[in-house]
Amino acid sequence: MLIQAAKHVEKQCDAIDINLGCPKSAAKKKKYGAFLLDKQYWPLLHTMVHRASSELSVPIFCKIRLLKSLEDTIQLATLLQNAGCKMLAVHGRTRKQIGRCPGPANFDYIREIKSVHSCF
């Protein structure tokens, strides 16, 4: 469905952005957004990004949130890059950090991810 939908708009846009950052309860119930960041869904994410980058004429961008560990977040960023993601936006908070006072963003993690993935 992603490819079919994107094909309808690819000539009118500069990129396709896959938002994997939504932490809302509706995203949890329907299995989208930040709830696709669990390791069990990584093969699906790889397939989605790889197919989109192979079959569409515009680049694929992804937005993620930080995972439980820096190592897991770097692993996921690597998976997305290898699948064809051309730009990655990293929200500096985990999916549990939501609401009016979510706590500070982790800029140290973002710096680390950027140092490993220079194209992001």
Backbone Cα Rg of the chain: 14
Nearest C-alpha neighbor of 72 from the set 44, 94, 87, 102: 94
- Residues contacting 58, CB < 8 A, separation 6+: 6, 10, 13, 14, 15, 16
- From the number of C-beta atoms within 10 Å of its C-beta (0-12, 13-18, 19+), residue 64 rates as buried
Q: Which of 13, 22, 85, 101 is catalytic?
A: 22
- Catalytic residue status for 62: no
Catalytic residues: 22
